[in-house]
Amino acid sequence: MKQVPIILLGAGGHAKVVLDLLHALDHEVLGVCDPELANRSTSQWRGLSVLGDDEVIEEHQPNSIALANGLGSLPNSHLRHRLHQRFKGKGYRFITLVHPSAIVGSGVELGDGVQIMAGAIIQADTHIGNDVILNTGARIDHESVIGDHVHVAPGSVLSGNVKVADGCHIGPGAVVIQGIKLGQGAVVGAGTTVLSDLPAHYQLTGQPPRPPVELKRKKNTP
């Protein structure tokens, strides 16, 4: 497909990382749309022209540009999701971005507007839905299925055959063991280890370990 210029949406922390990624992939960036910058009449942001608020996008034909969603995603914040739906509904395309340092295995499928950040790894035959963020250094192992609008936060680890339904949030440093299913909109807290399925719209945090137990050893083992 012919490369069209990109408009970046948003100018917060996530947008800075997305802009670096666009530069790393040599994309032409037309400018940034951000209501706050537009309100302050700021004309430049990190070397980009501030085009205005989101309405400006509709001055461009849907097939003449692509969009990069610079809004981050946290549990109970739905702005990123809404922005994606709004402009997709009007025929615009969100570009899928894969950082050059990420590893994407064979048979991996990536949806529209997926953002794979630096150092992330996706192993074979995994499916990633639309508008997913696989954040810095996060890892998803073989044959996993990740729904739409999921955020896998920095450094989290999903083992093989994990199924994550639409809209889930997996906090930084979380670990999900193999074969687990997370229901729609489920939230896994930072640093939490998931050992059993989590129903839709449930949140799991913490997990204090039980007291250590002495391991049985065979005779004459080191």
Ligand X SMILES: CC(=O)SCCNC(=O)CCNC(=O)[C@H](O)C(C)(C)COP(=O)(O)OP(=O)(O)OC[C@H]1O[C@@H](n2cnc3c(N)ncnc32)[C@H](O)[C@@H]1OP(=O)(O)O
- How far is Cα 74 from Cα 77, in angstroms, rounded to an integer? 5
- Regarding 171 and contact with ligand X (CB under 6 A), the answer is yes
Minimum distance, C-beta of residue 5 to ligand X, in the bound complex (Å): 26
Contact code string over 89-118 relative to ligand X, x by CB under 6 A: ------------------------------
Q: Which of 142, 149, 151, 169 is catalytic?
A: 142
Alpha-carbon separation of residue 20 from 6, 27, 37, 52, 191 (angstroms): 13, 10, 19, 21, 27
Which residue's structure tokens are 């702005």? Answer: 79
142: annotated active-site residue = yes
Sketch the per residue contact string, 182 through 211, with ligand X: x for CB under 6 A, - otherwise: -----x-xxxx----------x-xx-----
User: Per rule CB under 6 A, is residue 153 in the interface with ligand X?
Assistant: yes
130-135: long-range contacts, CB 8 A cutoff, minimum separation 24: 130/84, 130/94, 131/69, 131/80, 131/81, 131/84, 131/94, 133/14, 133/72, 133/73, 134/102, 135/172
CB of 21 to ligand X, least distance (A): 13
Residues 55-84 that bind ligand X (CB under 6 A): 74-75
Judged by the rule CB under 6 A, the positions of this chain that interact with ligand X are 74-75, 135, 153-154, 171-172, 187, 189-192, 203, 205-206
Q: Please list the active-site residues.
A: 142
